[in-house]
Amino acid sequence: MTLYYDEVETPVGTMLIVGDGENIVRVEYGSFQSMNNKMAAWVKRYFPDRSFVHSPEQVEQAKQELQEYFHGARQAFSFPFKFHGTPFQKQIWQALYDFIPYGETTAYKGIAQAIGNPKAVRAAGGAVNKNPLSIVVPCHRVIGADGKMIGYGGGLDKKEFLLALEKTISSG
Protein backbone atom coordinates (compact mmCIF):
# COMPACT_ATOMS: atom_id res chain seq x y z
CA MET A 1 0.00 0.00 0.00
CA THR A 2 1.16 3.50 -0.78
CA LEU A 3 0.68 6.30 1.71
CA TYR A 4 0.88 9.83 0.37
CA TYR A 5 1.99 12.80 2.42
CA ASP A 6 2.73 16.46 2.43
CA GLU A 7 3.37 19.13 5.02
CA VAL A 8 1.62 22.42 5.65
CA GLU A 9 2.94 25.40 7.56
CA THR A 10 0.50 26.69 10.17
CA PRO A 11 0.59 29.22 13.01
CA VAL A 12 1.36 26.30 15.36
CA GLY A 13 4.19 24.95 13.22
CA THR A 14 4.59 22.35 10.52
CA MET A 15 1.85 19.75 10.23
CA LEU A 16 2.07 16.44 8.42
CA ILE A 17 -0.88 15.13 6.41
CA VAL A 18 -0.96 11.47 5.35
CA GLY A 19 -3.51 9.87 3.04
CA ASP A 20 -4.09 6.46 1.49
CA GLY A 21 -5.22 7.78 -1.90
CA GLU A 22 -8.89 7.93 -0.87
CA ASN A 23 -8.92 9.14 2.73
CA ILE A 24 -6.75 11.17 5.03
CA VAL A 25 -5.49 8.78 7.71
CA ARG A 26 -3.22 11.00 9.80
CA VAL A 27 -2.75 14.69 10.63
CA GLU A 28 0.16 15.27 13.00
CA TYR A 29 2.26 18.07 14.38
CA GLY A 30 5.74 18.06 12.89
CA SER A 31 7.43 17.24 9.61
CA PHE A 32 7.55 13.86 7.91
CA GLN A 33 11.18 13.54 8.95
CA SER A 34 10.50 14.32 12.61
CA MET A 35 7.34 12.21 12.81
CA ASN A 36 8.69 9.07 11.23
CA ASN A 37 9.71 7.56 14.58
CA LYS A 38 6.51 8.60 16.35
CA MET A 39 4.34 7.07 13.65
CA ALA A 40 6.44 3.94 13.17
CA ALA A 41 4.44 1.63 15.48
CA TRP A 42 1.09 2.93 14.24
CA VAL A 43 2.10 2.57 10.59
CA LYS A 44 3.53 -0.90 11.19
CA ARG A 45 0.28 -2.02 12.83
CA TYR A 46 -2.20 -0.65 10.28
CA PHE A 47 -0.11 -0.42 7.09
CA PRO A 48 2.54 -3.15 7.33
CA ASP A 49 3.34 -3.30 3.60
CA ARG A 50 3.48 0.37 2.82
CA SER A 51 5.65 2.87 1.09
CA PHE A 52 5.54 6.63 1.52
CA VAL A 53 5.37 8.99 -1.44
CA HIS A 54 5.58 12.76 -1.13
CA SER A 55 2.53 13.80 -3.12
CA PRO A 56 1.02 17.22 -2.38
CA GLU A 57 -1.83 16.68 -4.83
CA GLN A 58 -3.05 13.57 -2.95
CA VAL A 59 -3.63 15.56 0.25
CA GLU A 60 -4.40 18.97 -1.29
CA GLN A 61 -7.98 19.24 -0.04
CA ALA A 62 -6.95 18.52 3.56
CA LYS A 63 -4.09 20.99 3.29
CA GLN A 64 -6.43 23.68 1.92
CA GLU A 65 -9.04 23.08 4.62
CA LEU A 66 -6.45 23.23 7.41
CA GLN A 67 -5.24 26.57 6.07
CA GLU A 68 -8.85 27.80 5.97
CA TYR A 69 -9.33 26.66 9.57
CA PHE A 70 -6.30 28.66 10.72
CA HIS A 71 -7.54 31.73 8.84
CA GLY A 72 -10.93 31.50 10.57
CA ALA A 73 -12.76 30.59 7.36
CA ARG A 74 -13.58 26.97 8.28
CA GLN A 75 -15.14 25.45 11.39
CA ALA A 76 -15.68 21.89 10.12
CA PHE A 77 -13.74 19.69 7.74
CA SER A 78 -15.26 18.07 4.67
CA PHE A 79 -12.39 16.02 3.24
CA PRO A 80 -12.75 12.25 3.55
CA PHE A 81 -10.87 10.63 6.42
CA LYS A 82 -10.68 7.18 7.91
CA PHE A 83 -9.84 6.05 11.42
CA HIS A 84 -7.30 3.31 12.02
CA GLY A 85 -7.38 2.14 15.63
CA THR A 86 -9.17 -0.23 17.96
CA PRO A 87 -12.97 -0.32 17.90
CA PHE A 88 -13.05 1.58 21.22
CA GLN A 89 -10.62 4.23 19.94
CA LYS A 90 -12.70 4.69 16.80
CA GLN A 91 -15.82 5.12 18.91
CA ILE A 92 -14.13 7.79 21.04
CA TRP A 93 -12.70 9.61 18.01
CA GLN A 94 -16.08 9.63 16.30
CA ALA A 95 -17.64 11.03 19.48
CA LEU A 96 -15.00 13.79 19.57
CA TYR A 97 -15.80 14.64 15.98
CA ASP A 98 -19.58 14.54 16.46
CA PHE A 99 -19.97 15.76 20.04
CA ILE A 100 -17.83 18.86 20.63
CA PRO A 101 -18.89 21.89 18.60
CA TYR A 102 -16.39 24.41 17.30
CA GLY A 103 -15.41 26.89 19.99
CA GLU A 104 -16.66 24.72 22.87
CA THR A 105 -14.98 22.29 25.26
CA THR A 106 -15.84 19.22 27.28
CA ALA A 107 -14.15 16.96 29.81
CA TYR A 108 -13.24 13.29 29.37
CA LYS A 109 -16.36 12.46 31.35
CA GLY A 110 -18.45 14.14 28.66
CA ILE A 111 -16.86 11.97 25.99
CA ALA A 112 -17.43 8.81 28.04
CA GLN A 113 -21.07 9.81 28.48
CA ALA A 114 -21.40 10.55 24.76
CA ILE A 115 -20.55 6.93 23.95
CA GLY A 116 -22.95 5.66 26.60
CA ASN A 117 -20.22 4.43 28.93
CA PRO A 118 -19.86 7.03 31.72
CA LYS A 119 -17.44 4.86 33.69
CA ALA A 120 -14.93 4.76 30.81
CA VAL A 121 -13.44 8.16 31.63
CA ARG A 122 -9.83 6.94 31.95
CA ALA A 123 -10.10 4.72 28.87
CA ALA A 124 -11.60 7.63 26.94
CA GLY A 125 -8.58 9.72 27.94
CA GLY A 126 -6.24 7.04 26.63
CA ALA A 127 -8.07 6.94 23.31
CA VAL A 128 -8.13 10.72 23.01
CA ASN A 129 -4.35 10.67 23.51
CA LYS A 130 -3.97 8.39 20.47
CA ASN A 131 -6.05 10.54 18.11
CA PRO A 132 -4.46 10.23 14.64
CA LEU A 133 -6.24 13.25 13.16
CA SER A 134 -5.15 16.29 15.15
CA ILE A 135 -7.40 19.35 14.82
CA VAL A 136 -9.77 17.51 12.44
CA VAL A 137 -10.92 15.30 15.32
CA PRO A 138 -10.91 18.02 17.98
CA CYS A 139 -9.14 16.44 20.93
CA HIS A 140 -7.82 19.93 21.70
CA ARG A 141 -11.36 20.72 22.90
CA VAL A 142 -11.09 18.23 25.78
CA ILE A 143 -10.14 19.87 29.08
CA GLY A 144 -9.99 18.77 32.70
CA ALA A 145 -13.18 18.33 34.72
CA ASP A 146 -12.05 21.36 36.74
CA GLY A 147 -11.83 23.48 33.57
CA LYS A 148 -8.03 23.49 33.48
CA MET A 149 -5.86 22.72 30.48
CA ILE A 150 -4.58 19.17 30.55
CA GLY A 151 -2.26 17.19 28.33
CA TYR A 152 -2.23 17.53 24.59
CA GLY A 153 -0.04 15.59 22.17
CA GLY A 154 0.94 18.74 20.33
CA GLY A 155 1.77 20.56 23.56
CA LEU A 156 -0.34 22.79 25.79
CA ASP A 157 0.80 25.91 23.94
CA LYS A 158 -0.80 24.59 20.74
CA LYS A 159 -3.97 23.55 22.57
CA GLU A 160 -4.31 27.02 24.11
CA PHE A 161 -3.72 28.63 20.71
CA LEU A 162 -6.40 26.47 19.02
CA LEU A 163 -8.97 27.11 21.74
CA ALA A 164 -8.28 30.86 21.66
CA LEU A 165 -8.58 30.90 17.85
CA GLU A 166 -11.91 29.08 17.96
CA LYS A 167 -13.26 31.26 20.76
CA THR A 168 -12.33 34.43 18.85
CA ILE A 169 -13.92 33.22 15.63
CA SER A 170 -17.07 31.78 17.21
CA SER A 171 -17.73 34.88 19.31
CA GLY A 172 -16.72 37.18 16.52
CA distances in angstroms from 94 to 76, 89, 139, listed in the order given = 14, 8, 11
Q: Please, are residues 27 and 62 in contact by the beta-carbon 8 Å criterion?
A: yes
Q: Hey, which residues does 53 pair with through a beta bridge?
A: 4
Is 139 designated active site?
yes
CA distances in angstroms from 105 to 82, 91, 126, listed in the order given = 23, 18, 18
139, 142, 143, 163: the catalytic one is 139
Active site residues: 139
